[in-house]
Structure 1
Amino acid sequence: MTHNTDEPTWGIELTPEHSPDRMASLAALAEDEGFDVAFTSSHYFNRDPFVVCSRMAETTDEIGLGPGIVNPYETHPVRLAAQTATIDEVSDGRAVFGVGAGDRSSLANLGIEHDRPLRRVLETFDIARKLWAGETVTHDGTFTAQDASLNLEPTSDEIPVYVGAQGPHMLRMSGKHADGVLINAAHPRDLEWSAGQIEQGLADRPDDYGAFESLAFASVSVAAEEKEAREAARPPVAFIVGGAADPVLERHDVDRETAATISEALEAGDLPEAFGHVTPEMIDAFCIAGTTATVAERFEAALEYVDGIVVGSPLGPDLEDAIERAGEALDRATE
């Protein structure tokens, strides 16, 4: 797979569960620790990712910033293009656009149909690119836009588009059309399988498209003590297992009935019940959890199949400590 430089790309997911000021200081810390890009996750129940990115732009100088991963159902795709262009303006050309189909259960909470996700995501960033280039767009597909254009131009020539993907079709589509992919996986077995799907997409990629970057968007939990790191991994792992497709569960020998129990508990809002069903094997399959040394080894294994890693939620029991440890683990993984 092609990559812009010989060095892997290091990304971090900062979840806006805290005030924009705290998020801005975490982004500054991530930049100091050598991360290249910070994605702010987008869920309707957390703070707005674009507002948070705007605050993060004020405390940083070089790190890329953008939503990761925003979906084109809750917000009209033309609006997403304008919001991302605004981040590019306030950050002086550092915006990235992390887009994906969104979480089916979260969208269901809002009464939103998760309709034709592959087409919707592709049409979203196709239209965004045209709008960023200053074109006026009329579109009639999975969404409609009539004579739409933006009243601002992005600062940078091209805002890179990263597609959040896990299933075979979305992975292939990203290889063919996007600038990068954020693979929703942490385990080498999943990353190896994903790389095979992406290769198929890259085989059909037009020659005039630029370099493509494949990043593992991995759940990570790192702490001084292995036990604490693994305990903090329970909530995200429960959500991953609860939403995992059957082939993914099969790949890791996860009991389907236990996965269904977790899923039902999450939908009913019984979080302690869901988290209680998470097994050590599930944590191993769906999160990179442990001490700095353990996490560095797992990063090294992942890098066999990808061009870089986005250190995803929960990061660890102590966010500041976890960002420093993750940065150190990434350094060790590439020594």
Structure 2
Amino acid sequence: MTKNTTPTDGATRAIELTPEHPTERVAELAALAEDEGFDIAFASSHYFNRDPFVALSRMADATDELRLGPGVVNPYESHPVKLAAQTATIDEVSDGRAVFGVGAGDRSSLANLGIERDSPLRRVLETFKLAQDLWDGETVTHEGTFTARDASLNIEPPSEEIPTYVGAQGPHMLRMSAKHAEGVLINAAHPRDLEWAAGEIEQGLEEREAQSASERASEERSDSRDGEFESLAFASVSVAGDETEAREAARPPVAFIAGGAAEPVLERHDIDREAASAVSDALEQGNLHEAFGHVTPAMIDAFCIAGTTETIADRFEAALEYVDGIVVGSPLGPDLEDAVRRASEALDSVENRRSE
């Protein structure tokens, strides 16, 4: 089990707020999340929504202690140096509350922009290593999956360290995040997937420790930052007073998850391959309504924590056997404010159970 790096007691509570809503609404939701005891708020990044960094700036103005960051940006749509500067700006305007959520991005969304997602593991790793050097005030020249020459930032982020959380689902990205980053955002909601991911993360942590020991012995500078590592389940959540309404609201995000799910994930949950292909084909053709209609109850059970407050509390408790915290992710529920409160109540319930 990994260790919690946040100053709060118990499991880390995080939430994903999507800038599909006006930035003022997102800022209000962030303020509510802070009042409800959440530790981190991630603003999701999709080219068809509002800019996550603009939303994060508004969220910073509306909050006092909530940690804030993109969840997650990718180093294909924007150059890694630009992402480092944007994140440093959020750290500045929030008085040192930034986190950096970075991942390889959604292959189908990048394809819509004519972008090929090549060498995703190396590109993500090189991106946050470069960002760390830039945040430390270094001038950087880099030749790898991208190029940067004599790059530096005219920003001094107030944080001593902006923690990097890597969005991950596959085995290699999970292990890499554990070896090199401060945290991981596991793209999963079901205990079966989280248990499998925990095994991959443990391998990465063992490699991290072995590397650190070797570097200490040779008095070399460590390639990974000191400190503890945190694993968070970045889980699609839909909560409401009515179970059916909550599950219906889960259809859109579940469609995108199921449509892009790898074969081993489908097999792990005994999801019919033809049903998943029907969802995927409809999404590729832009037929969203049709895609959502192809979502099966089994897909919702596998890829979303959906139901009443009591139902999701049970699912949160099961997930926390394998991770250090939960990111309450999209869609949240049919009523956003109500969903934030209900998710907080569910997490309170879990904390109470675990302290008994």
Give the TM-score taking structure 1 as reference length: 0.99
Is 1:289 matched with 2:292?
no
- Identify the residue that residue 61 of structure 1 maps to in structure 2: 64
Alpha-carbon distance between aligned partners in 1 of 2:289 and 2:56, rounded to the nearest angstrom: 31
Alpha-carbon distance between aligned partners in 2 of 1:23 and 1:15, rounded to the nearest angstrom: 7
- Identify the residue that residue 33 of structure 2 maps to in structure 1: 30
Structure 1: gaps (5+ residues): none
Alpha-carbon distance between aligned partners in 2 of 1:178 and 1:334, rounded to the nearest angstrom: 27
Q: Which among 180, 194, 197 is matched to residue 197 of structure 2?
A: 194
- Identify the residue that residue 278 of structure 2 maps to in structure 1: 261
- Identify the residue that residue 114 of structure 2 maps to in structure 1: 111
- Identify the residue that residue 128 of structure 1 maps to in structure 2: 131
Q: Secondary structure at the match of 1:204?
A: helix
Cα-to-partner distance string for 1:225-276 (whole Å, 9 max, x where unaligned): 0000000001110100001011000100011111111101001111111111
Is 1:317 matched with 2:317?
no
Alpha-carbon distance between aligned partners in 2 of 1:2 and 1:216, rounded to the nearest angstrom: 14
Structure 1 residue 3 displacement after superposition: 2.1
- Identify the residue that residue 148 of structure 2 maps to in structure 1: 145
Is 1:273 matched with 2:290?
yes
Alpha-carbon distance between aligned partners in 2 of 1:248 and 1:210, rounded to the nearest angstrom: 31
Alpha-carbon distance between aligned partners in 2 of 1:257 and 1:266, rounded to the nearest angstrom: 14
Alpha-carbon distance between aligned partners in 2 of 1:24 and 1:312, rounded to the nearest angstrom: 16
- Identify the residue that residue 89 of structure 1 maps to in structure 2: 92
Give the TM-score taking structure 2 as reference length: 0.93
Q: Secondary structure at the match of 1:329?
A: helix
Is 1:75 matched with 2:92?
no
Alpha-carbon distance between aligned partners in 1 of 2:62 and 2:279, rounded to the nearest angstrom: 39
Alpha-carbon distance between aligned partners in 1 of 2:347 and 2:82, rounded to the nearest angstrom: 35
Greater mean alpha carbon deviation, residues 137-146 or residues 274-283: 274-283
Structure 1 residue 211 displacement after superposition: 0.5
Alpha-carbon distance between aligned partners in 2 of 1:111 and 1:153, rounded to the nearest angstrom: 34
Cα-to-partner distance string for 1:192-249 (whole Å, 9 max, x where unaligned): 0000000000001144621000000000000000000000001110100001011000
Q: Which among 182, 187, 210 is matched to residue 184 of structure 1?
A: 187
Is 1:44 matched with 2:61?
no
Off by >3 Å, runs of 4+ in structure 1: none
Cα-to-partner distance string for 1:175-206 (whole Å, 9 max, x where unaligned): 00000000000000000000000000000114
Alpha-carbon distance between aligned partners in 2 of 1:216 and 1:2, rounded to the nearest angstrom: 14
Alpha-carbon distance between aligned partners in 1 of 2:96 and 2:114, rounded to the nearest angstrom: 35
Alpha-carbon distance between aligned partners in 1 of 2:238 and 2:324, rounded to the nearest angstrom: 21
Letter in 2 for 1:143: F
Structure 1 residue 23 displacement after superposition: 0.6
Is 1:327 matched with 2:344?
yes
Structure 1 residue 2 displacement after superposition: 2.2
Alpha-carbon distance between aligned partners in 2 of 1:19 and 1:286, rounded to the nearest angstrom: 27
Matched residue count: 335
Alpha-carbon distance between aligned partners in 2 of 1:2 and 1:334, rounded to the nearest angstrom: 16
Alpha-carbon distance between aligned partners in 2 of 1:250 and 1:260, rounded to the nearest angstrom: 13
Q: Percent identity?
A: 78
Q: Which among 222, 231, 246 is matched to residue 239 of structure 2?
A: 222
Q: Which among 140, 147, 163 is matched to residue 166 of structure 2?
A: 163
- Identify the residue that residue 260 of structure 2 maps to in structure 1: 243
Letter in 1 for 2:300: I
Structure 1 residue 24 displacement after superposition: 0.5
Alpha-carbon distance between aligned partners in 1 of 2:107 and 2:226, rounded to the nearest angstrom: 31
Q: Secondary structure at the match of 1:311?
A: strand
Alpha-carbon distance between aligned partners in 1 of 2:204 and 2:319, rounded to the nearest angstrom: 20
Q: Secondary structure at the match of 1:238?
A: helix
Cα-to-partner distance string for 1:112-142 (whole Å, 9 max, x where unaligned): 0100000000000000000000000000000
Letter in 1 for 2:321: E
Greater mean alpha carbon deviation, residues 118-127 or residues 252-261: 252-261
- Identify the residue that residue 4 of structure 2 maps to in structure 1: 3
Alpha-carbon distance between aligned partners in 2 of 1:19 and 1:285, rounded to the nearest angstrom: 30
Alpha-carbon distance between aligned partners in 2 of 1:213 and 1:229, rounded to the nearest angstrom: 29
Structure 2: gaps (5+ residues): 213-224
Alpha-carbon distance between aligned partners in 2 of 1:313 and 1:18, rounded to the nearest angstrom: 12
Structure 1 residue 165 displacement after superposition: 0.2
Alpha-carbon distance between aligned partners in 2 of 1:310 and 1:52, rounded to the nearest angstrom: 18
Alpha-carbon distance between aligned partners in 2 of 1:104 and 1:54, rounded to the nearest angstrom: 27
Alpha-carbon distance between aligned partners in 2 of 1:334 and 1:281, rounded to the nearest angstrom: 28
